[in-house]
Amino acid sequence: MSILDELLAARARAANKYQLSKHQEQPTVKEEKREQEKVSKNNDSYWSFFRQETTSSVIECAHPQHGRCLQCSGRMLLHTKLEKCFKLRDMLSQNMYLSKCETKDISTMHEYVSHCCGLYHYCFESSQSQEFEANKKKVNELIDITRKADPKSLQITNQPKSSLQYGEVLFYSCAHMVFDLLMLSSSKLFSEHMTFIDLGSGIGKSLLAVSLLFPNFRKCIGIEIVRKLHEIACNSTKVWSDSLKLQDILASKVELINGNFFDETLIISKLFGSDHQTTVSTVVFIASTAFSASTMTKLNDMLLQLLDDNFQCINYVGVITLSHPLPDKQRFKILKTDSYRMSWGNVSVFFQQYQPQLLK
Ligand SMILES: C[S@@+](CC[C@H](N)C(=O)[O-])C[C@H]1O[C@@H](n2cnc3c(N)ncnc32)[C@H](O)[C@@H]1O
């Protein structure tokens, strides 16, 4: 059974559970326990990588798990039965896994997101075969790779070396950030075919999370300058495609590029294609914590220039940056700021939307 089949089966089980609960014929606790035991027996199966979301998945606090502080109180998790979740469910139900599912049960969405989380961690942490070795690289090893990178050979004279510092987005934080941005922006602005682009994509963690969770992102593009990180991302994608039979998600959607995000020609071709015929809706993600003020200004100016030059092709552009917003707050309007947990701790996340010059 391929992983995709298993995801589909999980969806069917969730729908079934909902039907059963409607008729008060819930499976007995014993049956549920037996099912869970079966699952956890195979330690290296992707089932064992499930992580149910808790507050600490999205925000790091000093107090114990059940405590609350100003930072975490009122925080919504993807499985709480709140209005937000119903909106999320509606968004998710547009995707190919849930489209055939008739139930409107929130647990379906919750189970789906947990499955994607399990698959994500399985891809990056499984020790199943030698091929997966590269996927198991720990953050510290990856930081070492960026520390050893030589800015001269990378030809990044306009950026301090510290801006190469590696760090990664966590699965649930990534899911929330993209959900939040989409919910803050009017749904009319979205087209069926959206693009997600990660400027400085590391080993591609955001790309896997987004491509699994949001099938209406037609393309998930990552641009990474450090060749070794790019190679790890390519190797991982190949292994997931081949071994986990995720070709339809990954091979056709995820595009990894070893290049400089200040290469305007590259960015234009990825954002607008070669024909400039279709209008685009794009989410740009920049894990910018280690970027200097001057790097942020250069990114701001480059993005503005190329978006203004092609504004007739733009339906919507949302930008997520970490720790600093893009400096031009009129043209990149801040919709919201929130704190989310990354591999290096809690970080302020800025949700911004590009304002075409005509509306200024
Ligand atoms: C904090 S890491 C983020 C990794 C990934 N986005 C994630 O969240 O998992 C920032 C990455 O940006 C890359 N980077 C820095 N400057 C770059 C540039 N000019 N072009 C492409 N990548 C760059 C660094 O090499 C580093 O891997």
Three-state DSSP at 250 gives: helix
Partners of 349 in beta bridges:
322, 338
pLDDT at position 145: 93
Distance CA 360, CA 328 (A): 12
Residues 287-325 as b/e (b if ≥16 CB within 10 A, e otherwise) read bbbbbeeebbeebbebbbebbeeeeebbebbbbbbbbbb
Pocket probe mutation, ligand 1, options 120, 138, 166, max atoms within 8 Å of Cβ: 166
CA–centroid distance, 261 to ligand 1, in Å, is 9
Residue with structure tokens 């549920």?
Answer: 32
CA–centroid distance, 84 to ligand 1, in Å, is 31
CA–centroid distance, 164 to ligand 1, in Å, is 6
Q: Which residue puts its alpha carbon closest to atom 25 of ligand 1?
A: 164
CA–centroid distance, 224 to ligand 1, in Å, is 6
Residue with structure tokens 């929330």?
Answer: 176
Sign, CA torsion 343/332/93/211: negative
Q: Which residue puts its alpha carbon closest to atom 12 of ligand 1?
A: 200
Pocket of ligand 1, beta carbon within 6 A: 146, 156, 159, 163-164, 166-169, 198, 200-202, 205-206, 223-226, 229, 260-262, 287
Query: Mind listing the domains of the chain with CATH numbers?
Result: 3-125 (no CATH), 168-359 (3.40.50.150)
Q: How far is CA 56 from CA 19, 63, 72, 144, 304, in A?
A: 32, 10, 9, 26, 36
Q: Are 176 and 210 in contact (CB under 8 A)?
A: no
pLDDT at position 24: 39
Q: What is the pLDDT along the chain (360 residues), one digit of tens a residue?
A: 555 565 556 555 544 554 444 443 444 555 555 555 554 444 556 666 677 788 888 999 998 877 889 888 888 777 654 455 555 555 555 543 444 434 445 556 666 777 778 778 877 876 655 555 666 678 999 999 999 998 888 888 778 889 999 999 999 999 999 988 887 876 666 666 689 999 999 999 999 999 888 777 889 999 999 999 999 898 888 777 776 667 766 777 899 999 999 999 999 999 887 666 678 889 999 999 999 999 999 999 999 999 999 988 888 999 999 999 999 999 999 999 999 999 999 999 999 999 998 654
CA–centroid distance, 21 to ligand 1, in Å, is 46
CA–centroid distance, 199 to ligand 1, in Å, is 6
Q: 332-342 and 345-354 as β-strands: parallel, antiparallel, unpaired? A: antiparallel
